[in-house]
Chain A
Amino acid sequence: MSKAQNKPEGVTPSQTVGPYFAYGLTSNGKYDWNDAFSNNLVTADTSGERVRVEGRVFDGDGKPMVDCMLEIWQADAQGRFSDPQDKRALPNSSFKGFGRCGTDADGGYAFDTIKPGTVPDPDGKPQAPHLVLAVFARGMLLHLYTRIYFDGEAANAADPVLALVPIDRRATLIAQRANCNPSAVYRLDVHLQGDDETVFFDV
């Protein structure tokens, strides 16, 4: 069935995820379909500090985005990715590092995960613990990438990516610790526009 392929002229363009993706991508028990992914990344043998990262997503009118899909990608507590391309990684855990969440009627999202370890930048400098976040929605022809850092991490001060961000906008990337019971909860809202517009990265 497979045919030799000519060299492509370019990538396939992105299109919006639209308003109706939930039954295929984030059914979460509401439709008769098994989800490939969930917003709970923690497995029985996952080591590391359990955290819940949660918040809401808002559009340019400050209205909650109730039809948004968020995906996170992160290292494990040792700073290793569950991907053979990370040559440092050892398959020592069933932690996969990927999560997906559809926003609720309040534009809310939540991921249950662990705080990732330290991942080096291309020069070998340590990056502060972070999640990579991709945002998809109706009205978004191409998803946006941002990062979620953790309040109170001393490593934030020297993080080479945060350093690229003007000081007055860094707070849009740093989830604030909300409480510690039973496990740590960090909150970060995502604003597509407005005074608190989230910093998005050109990657």
Chain B
Amino acid sequence: MTLSYPLQSLTAHPPRLSPGYKSTVKRSPTKPLIPMRHTLSELTGPVYGHETVRENDNDLTLQGKGEPLGERIIVHGHVLDEDGRGVPNTLVELWQANACGRYIHVVDQHPAPLDPNFTGAGRTQSDGEGYYRFVTIKPGAYPWGNHHNAWRPAHIHFSVFGHSFVSRLVTQMYFPGDPLFPFDPIFNSVTDEKARNRMVSDFDLENTKPDWALCYRFNIVLRGRNATPMETK
């Protein structure tokens, strides 16, 4: 199957220069990007990485000597292409803050406790139908220096590959109903409301495990659709 990657799909993404998110001002190009046709270099991509996935890498509650503190959750969903087909056997990486909103990264100095039983890193491989599943802890909100009293809504970072190097996606999954949404310039850098809501997971009662963990569903849609005779590369 050969997929095409029309530029049109990119309109869902935030503009690189989003001045409300201050760091973008010095970290976005000032000259227009140069359009080019996709060659094999863009239409292929890494199809490996999953051989590094170990048994418990998709369960972030089992990586320490004991259980991490916080609200245990299941996060699952499908990695899909733009036509809704599952992207099979693709590497899904995630990283996140702990329940207190603290990352183990050395640069994070937010005065909230680290959890010795929680690193916040995970990875898995989607199955033959694009399905993936993680067990983790619900991350806390945390303050950041963008503006006075700035707080990031709780989120989980995702990194996904898909079928080609131009379907590569790094994004953040949010939780439904977060009161911080209206105040977060990163979330709101996505100006289209429908597109923005695709970053918000759905609470999934059907797959919530009784007496054990709430479940959230998060489908990740990557670039790539059937090449049709109407489209020119």
Binding site for B on A (CB under 8 A): 1-3, 5-25, 27, 30-37, 59-61, 63, 65, 67, 71, 73-75, 81-86, 96-98, 119-122, 127, 130, 132, 134, 136-145, 147, 161, 164-165, 192-193, 197-203
Contacts and interface: CB of A to CB of B under 8 A. Distances in A.
Interface string B35-46: 111111111111
B13 A5 contact: no
Interface of B: 2, 5, 7, 9-10, 12-16, 18, 21-49, 52-54, 76, 78, 80, 82-86, 91, 93-95, 97, 103-108, 119-123, 127, 129-131, 133, 157, 159, 163-166, 168-172, 186-187, 189-190, 194-196, 198-199, 207, 219-223, 233
A122 to B, nearest CB: 5
A141 B172 CA distance: 11
A24 B121 contact: yes
Contacts, number: 277
Given A59-B26, A73-B46, A202 B33 contact: yes
13 contacts: A8-B219, A11-B9, A12-B12, A12-B198, A15-B189, A16-B170, A31-B104, A60-B26, A65-B27, A73-B41, A85-B43, A86-B40, A203-B36
Contact of A9 (B95, B165, B198): B198
Contacts of B169: 11-12, 14
Contacts of A84: 47
Contacts of B97: 20
B27 A140 contact: yes
Main secondary structure of the interface of A (DSSP, over half): loop
A193 B82 contact: no
Contacts of B164: 85
B88 to A, nearest CB: 11
Given A8-B221, A10-B82, A25-B95, A197 B198 contact: no
Given A2-B78, A13-B196, A140-B27, A23 B41 contact: no
B28 A161 contact: no
